[in-house]
Structure 1
Amino acid sequence: MSNTQTEDVTVQEMTLEQTEEVRGSGLLAELGLLIDVAYESFKGVTEKYSN
């Protein structure tokens, strides 16, 4: 139980560090594109299953 919580905290810390490193660089734009692509894919799957 506590092991899982520790892992979650570690992931949050790593994400925060990565966000600080990426901020203001071209990687942030690439991340935005990835999010857009993932959202479009998710939307397509959702529409397929809702019909």
Structure 2
Amino acid sequence: MSLVTIILNLVLPPLAVFLKHGLGKVFLINLLLTIIGWVPGVIHAFIVND
């Protein structure tokens, strides 16, 4: 995982997931988790961008 990916995971989790996986189910899940709370979105971004 690059430094840019780590920073994007922390600042804008949906953008980091979108850049890695595109617009799909994983992105929508991350967007929903980020809307519910920032921390769940960040955790999900780190898991899927491993």
TM over 0.5: no
Q: What is the TM-score of this pair, normalised by structure 2? A: 0.37
Q: What is the TM-score of this pair, normalised by structure 1? A: 0.37
Higher relative contact order (CA 8 A, sep 6+): 2
Larger of the two Rg values belongs to structure: 1
